Structure 1
Amino acid sequence: MASDDPARAVASSMAEAAQLWLQTLDPQQRSTGTGAGPAADATTDAERRRWFYTPTDHGGLTIHQQRPAQQRAAMRLVASGLSAAGYTTAATVMGLENVLDRTEGFTVAFDRERGRDPGLYYLRVFGEPGDTGAWGWRFGGHHVSLNNLVVDGRVVATTPCFLGADPAASPLLGSTLRPLAGPEDLARELVRSLKPDLAAAALLVPRAPTDIIGANRSRITEGDELIPLVGIWRAPFRDEAAQAALQTMSDTAERTSGVDAAEHRALALSASPKGVAAAAFDAEQRELLRALLATYLGRVPDGVSPLARYGDDAALDAVHLAWAGSTAAGEPHYYRLQGPGLLTEYDNTQRQVNHAHSVWRDPEADFGLDVLAGHRAAHHS
Structure 2
Amino acid sequence: MTLKKIISTSLILLFFGVLPAQNVLQKANTFINSLSEEIKSKTLFNLEDSERFNMNYVPIPRAGATFHDFNETQKTAALDLLRASLSEEGFRKSQEIMELEKVLRIIENNDADKMPDGRPRRDPLNYHFCIFGNPSKDKPWGWRFEGHHLSLNFTSTDGIISSSTPTFFGTNPGIVRSTEYKGKEVLKKEAELGFSLLHSMTPEQLKTVVFTDVAPHDIVTTTDRKVKQVEQLGISYKALSKAQKKTFMELLDLYMNNYEHEFATGFRDKINKAGIENLTFAWAGSLKPGKGHYFRIQGPTLLIEYDNTQNDANHVHTVVRDLTNDYGEDLLKAHYAKDHKH
Q: What whole-Å deviation, never above 9, does each CA across 1:136-164 have from its counterpart, x for those lacking one? A: 11000001111111112121101001111
With over 3 angstroms needed to count, the CA separation of the structure-2 counterparts of 1:285 and 1:350, relative to structure 1, is same
Q: Secondary structure at the match of 1:345?
A: strand
Larger RCO (alpha carbons 8 Å, 6+ apart): 1
Report how far residue 312 of structure 1 moved: 5.9
With over 3 angstroms needed to count, the CA separation of the structure-2 counterparts of 1:322 and 1:189, relative to structure 1, is same
Q: Secondary structure at the match of 1:48?
A: helix
Report how far residue 174 of structure 1 moved: 9.9
Residue type at the aligned position of 2:193 = L
Report how far residue 356 of structure 1 moved: 0.4
With over 3 angstroms needed to count, the CA separation of the structure-2 counterparts of 1:22 and 1:186, relative to structure 1, is same
Structure 1 counterpart of 2:216, from 209, 226, 234: 209
Equivalent residue number for residue 155 of structure 1: 161
Written as runs of structure 1 = structure 2, the 5 A alignment for 1:189-338 is: 189-222=196-229, 269-270=230-231, 273-306=232-265, 308-309=268-269, 315-338=275-298
Q: What whole-Å deviation, never above 9, does each CA across 1:204-248 have from its counterpart, x for those lacking one? A: 2111111000001111122xxxxxxxxxxxxxxxxxxxxxxxxxx
Q: Secondary structure at the match of 1:74?
A: helix
User: Does residue 122 of structure 1 match 2:128?
Assistant: yes
Equivalent residue number for residue 74 of structure 1: 78
Q: What whole-Å deviation, never above 9, does each CA across 1:246-290 have from its counterpart, x for those lacking one? A: xxxxxxxxxxxxxxxxxxxxxxx23xx211111111111111111
Report how far residue 313 of structure 1 moved: 10
What is the RMSD of the two structures over their aligned residues, measured on CA atoms?
2.1
8 Å contact from structure 1 (residues 10, 155) kept in 2? no
Q: Secondary structure at the match of 1:78?
A: helix
Q: TM-score, normalised by structure 1?
A: 0.79
Q: TM-score, normalised by structure 2?
A: 0.88
8 Å contact from structure 1 (residues 204, 323) kept in 2? yes
Residue type at the aligned position of 1:69 = T
8 Å contact from structure 2 (residues 127, 146) kept in 1? yes
With over 3 angstroms needed to count, the CA separation of the structure-2 counterparts of 1:135 and 1:116, relative to structure 1, is same
Q: What whole-Å deviation, never above 9, does each CA across 1:103-139 have from its counterpart, x for those lacking one? A: 1113433545211111110001111112111011100
Equivalent residue number for residue 303 of structure 2: 343
Report how far residue 190 of structure 1 moved: 0.4
With over 3 angstroms needed to count, the CA separation of the structure-2 counterparts of 1:158 and 1:311, relative to structure 1, is closer
Q: Distance in 2 between matches of 1:60 and 1:204?
A: 40
8 Å contact from structure 1 (residues 290, 310) kept in 2? no
User: Does residue 376 of structure 1 match 2:332?
Assistant: no
Q: Distance in 1 between matches of 2:213 and 2:302?
A: 24
Equivalent residue number for residue 148 of structure 2: 142
Structure 2 counterpart of 1:355, from 302, 312, 315: 315
Report how far residue 329 of structure 1 moved: 1.3
Report how far residue 56 of structure 1 moved: 1.5
Q: Distance in 2 between matches of 1:322 and 1:69?
A: 46
Report how far residue 380 of structure 1 moved: 2.2
Q: Secondary structure at the match of 2:303?
A: strand
8 Å contact from structure 1 (residues 10, 304) kept in 2? no
Q: Distance in 1 between matches of 2:335 and 2:93?
A: 33
Q: Distance in 1 between matches of 2:54 and 2:239?
A: 37
Q: Secondary structure at the match of 2:170?
A: strand
Report how far residue 187 of structure 1 moved: 0.6
Report how far residue 378 of structure 1 moved: 1.6
With over 3 angstroms needed to count, the CA separation of the structure-2 counterparts of 1:95 and 1:192, relative to structure 1, is same
Report how far residue 57 of structure 1 moved: 2.7
Equivalent residue number for residue 40 of structure 2: 30
Q: Distance in 2 between matches of 1:174 and 1:220?
A: 35
Is 57-66 or 343-352 further displaced after alignment? 57-66
Q: Distance in 2 between matches of 1:296 and 1:33?
A: 28
Is 303-312 or 123-132 further displaced after alignment? 303-312
Q: Distance in 1 between matches of 2:271 and 2:243?
A: 14
Q: Distance in 1 between matches of 2:278 and 2:256?
A: 16
Structure 2 alignment gaps of length 5 or more: 1-19
Report how far residue 45 of structure 1 moved: 3.9
Q: What whole-Å deviation, never above 9, does each CA across 1:72-131 have from its counterpart, x for those lacking one? A: 110110101111111111000001001011111134335452111111100011111121
Is 163-172 or 123-132 further displaced after alignment? 163-172
Q: Secondary structure at the match of 1:18?
A: helix
8 Å contact from structure 1 (residues 296, 359) kept in 2? no
Is 89-98 or 60-69 further displaced after alignment? 60-69
8 Å contact from structure 1 (residues 297, 360) kept in 2? no
Q: What whole-Å deviation, never above 9, does each CA across 1:51-72 have from its counterpart, x for those lacking one? A: 1111113321111111122111
With over 3 angstroms needed to count, the CA separation of the structure-2 counterparts of 1:26 and 1:112, relative to structure 1, is closer
Q: Secondary structure at the match of 2:288?
A: coil
